[in-house]
Each structure stands twice: as C-alpha cells, then as structure tokens.
Amino acid sequence: MTVEERRQQLIGVALELFARRSPDEVSIDEIASAAGISRPLVYHYFPGKLSLYEAALKRAAEDLADRFREPHEGPLGARLLRVMRRYFDFVDDHGPGFSALMRGGPAVGSSTTNALVDSVRQAAYVQILSHLRIEEPPARLELVVRSWISLAESTALLWLDGRRVPREELEVQLVQDFAALVAVGAAHDGPTAALLKPLLKDEPGDGPFADLVTRLVSLAA
C-alpha cells in the first residue's frame, strides 16, 4: 500500500470503531489491531492520536456534507425528505462518531472540530438556499434556515439517545418543521414571504408539506 492508501485505510478503520464507541474510548492500540498493523506503524502514518482522529472526523464531515447534495428537480418537500433520509442514514451508521463530531469532547481538538462542524452547517445552508433559488436571503430567512439546521442536528443527537421515535417519522417531521418555521418567519417578514410564496405553488397534494396541512386540520377538528 502507498502511504496515502494506508492513511485512508486507518481512517476507515477508525471510523468503523467510532460508529460503535465514542472516539474518546477508542485507543490507537485498537485501531492498530483492527487494521492488522503494529502500533508504531500507526504513528508512522499519523504523528499522534489527535491527528488520526481529526483526519477521521474530517472525512466524516465531508461525507455528511456530500449527503446534502440533491438534484434540483421535482417538488421541494420531496427533495428535502430525500436529504433527511440520507442524513439519518449517516447518523444511524456513525452514532458515537456523529455525537463526537457535533458535541466535541476531550479527545477532540475543539477548534478543529468546531471548524469541521461549521463547514458541515455551511454546506447544508448553501444547499438549501440553492434549492430555494435565493442568492442573498433576507436576514430573517437566513436566521430561520440556519436555526432549522441546528434543530435538525439536535433532533438527530436526541434520537441517538435511545432511538425511542422511529427515524422515518422524524425524517418527515423535520421536513415539516422546516415548513412550519419558514411559515412563522414569513408571517413576520414581508421579504421572506414574498420570496417563498412562488416556491410553494408546485408542491403536490401528496407531498410532506400538504401532509402537514392535512394533519393540522384534522388535529384542530
């Protein structure tokens, strides 16, 4: 294996271990053993525990950011729902690694981790604006979109703690949360309302946005 191939292998092994236990609890010895190489050889490819962990979290952050990419085709609600499915696939697959990425922690250099988390949030924000076909959002809309991204993160972190709500329901719920928060924002801000109204006219009667309206009407009855 080339140096780069070996580095990528070790990152992959580390991420597999981080999917079951928090990075804090995974030692270099375990990573070496799982990769079938000696501990000193691991240090040949990564100068210290922190550099391997940061490389692993960086790959995970890039993987997560990639999942926000979605073709600009079809109704918006269905697009966002597909993104939410891929998001929960990632969360489901990476459990403790996802928590460590999002929460930081003793084994993780916090400024590096914070920068990675910010890059994931920014990727999500840029993708959402591109689907809304908005280049320079009003301050209120920016705030609503960014705070929804943080809502999606905390929902995923809370879900991981016991998985007491079916993830498929949370995927739909988060899409509908987005619609609800945008509606509240639009209800307070003319520019936001004006930008979003034309986007909603293509939403189909069987999509997640219409489903929310149906559910709320039935709840109110």
Length of the chain: 221
Does 147 engage in binding with a copy of itself (CB under 8 A)?
A: yes
Query: Using CB under 8 A, which of the segments 5-13, 59-67, 78-86, 163-171 binds a copy of itself?
Result: 163-171
Hey, which residues between 22 and 81 contact a copy of itself (CB under 8 A)?
A: none
Least Cα distance to 193 among 139, 141, 130 occurs for 141
Does 143 engage in binding with a copy of itself (CB under 8 A)?
A: yes
Q: What are the residues whose beta carbons fall under 8 Å from the beta carbon of 131, sequence distance 6 or more?
A: 70, 72, 76, 79, 80
Q: What are the residues whose beta carbons fall under 8 Å from the beta carbon of 188, sequence distance 6 or more?
A: 140
| Residue 151 near residue 87 (C-beta atoms within 8 A) | no
Does 207 engage in binding with a copy of itself (CB under 8 A)?
A: no
Q: Which of 19, 129, 151, 210 binds a copy of itself (CB under 8 A)?
A: 151
Q: What are the residues whose beta carbons fall under 8 Å from the beta carbon of 74, sequence distance 6 or more?
A: none
* Least distance CB 163 / a copy of itself (angstroms): 9
Does 172 engage in binding with a copy of itself (CB under 8 A)?
A: yes
Residue whose entry in the numeric block shows the structure tokens 């949360």: 177
Residues that bind a copy of itself (CB under 8 A): 103-106, 110-111, 114, 139-140, 142-143, 146-148, 150-151, 153-155, 158-159, 162, 164-165, 169-170, 172-173, 176-177, 180-181, 183-188, 193, 212, 215-216, 219
